[in-house]
């Protein structure tokens, strides 16, 4: 399985640190319609640390098509490049930090119910950026993230290397 850079600006860099699998899809014809199955959606979502259902719904909203989440299918015939472009839109807005462009962000929710605000906290540079847009596609996805986070479902988290630095290196031992 080929690995590509998460950041679309660094796609040609083979030594870029943050990698994800390239989109792998299959077009099938069944009776009345044509369906595109994204075969490695789970692997992609795990490498981005975002839930696969939110990622899949964003792609279907962006391509303006119906989706079946259980079968991982989109209605219509879409090539890998089109799906990858849609995925890149999601990555640039919801995965990459808006300041340092490193994909180590986690979603945080402030407020309750209708007054909830989604913010992305960058673990690399510490920036806390508010997600807000006038674009209908982005607003729908922000609402999906808020609903998912409020439901209490755990997202896969980045490794926190520097969190307990004092317990690993006790300066009392050096005296």
Give 64-82 pLDDT, tens digit per residue. Answer: 999 888 888 999 999 999 9
Q: Report the candidate in 29, 56, 54 with the shortest Cα–Cα distance to residue 40.
A: 56
Report residue 169's pLDDT band, with 50, 70 and 90 as the boundaries.
low
Beta bridge partners of 120: 107, 129
pTM of the model: 0.81
Q: Report the candidate in 85, 8, 87 with the shortest Cα–Cα distance to residue 40.
A: 87
Report residue 20's pLDDT band, with 50, 70 and 90 as the boundaries.
confident
Determine whether domain 3-159 maps to CATH 3.40.50.720.
Answer: no
Task: Express as a percent the part of the chain with pLDDT over 70.
Answer: 87
Instruction: Give the burial class of 42: count Cβ atoms within 10 A of its Cβ; 0-12 exposed, 13-18 middle, 19 or more buried.
Output: middle
pLDDT of amino acid 18: 85
For residue 148, give both structure tokens. 């998912």
For residue 82, give both structure tokens. 């089109």
Domain boundaries, the chain: 3-159
Contact 104, 158 (CB under 8 A): yes
Helix H or strand E segment including 27: strand 25-30
Can you tell me the distance from the alpha carbon of 43 to that of 113, in angstroms, rounded to the nearest whole number?
Answer: 31
pLDDT digits (tens, 9 = 90+) for 104-159: 888 888 888 778 888 888 888 888 888 887 888 888 888 888 888 888 777 777 66
Contact 27, 68 (CB under 8 A): no
């Amino acid at each position: 399985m080929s690995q590509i850079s998460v950041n679309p600006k660094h796609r040609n860099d083979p030594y870029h640190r943050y990698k994800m699998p390239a989109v792998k899809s299959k077009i099938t014809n069944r009776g009345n319609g044509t369906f595109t199955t994204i075969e490695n959606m789970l692997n992609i979502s795990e490498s981005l640390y975002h839930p696969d259902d939110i990622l899949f719904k964003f792609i279907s909203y962006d391509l303006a098509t119906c989706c079946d989440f259980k079968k991982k299918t989109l209605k219509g015939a879409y090539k890998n490049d089109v799906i990858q472009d849609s995925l890149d839109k999601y990555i640039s807005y919801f995965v990459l930090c808006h300041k340092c462009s490193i994909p180590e962000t986690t979603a945080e929710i402030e407020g309750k119910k209708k007054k909830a605000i989604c913010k992305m906290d960058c673990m690399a540079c510490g920036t806390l950026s508010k997600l807000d847009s006038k674009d209908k596609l982005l607003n729908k996805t922000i609402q999906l993230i808020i609903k998912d986070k409020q439901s209490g479902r755990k997202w896969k988290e980045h490794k926190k290397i520097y969190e307990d630095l004092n317990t690993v290196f006790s300066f009392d031992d050096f005296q």
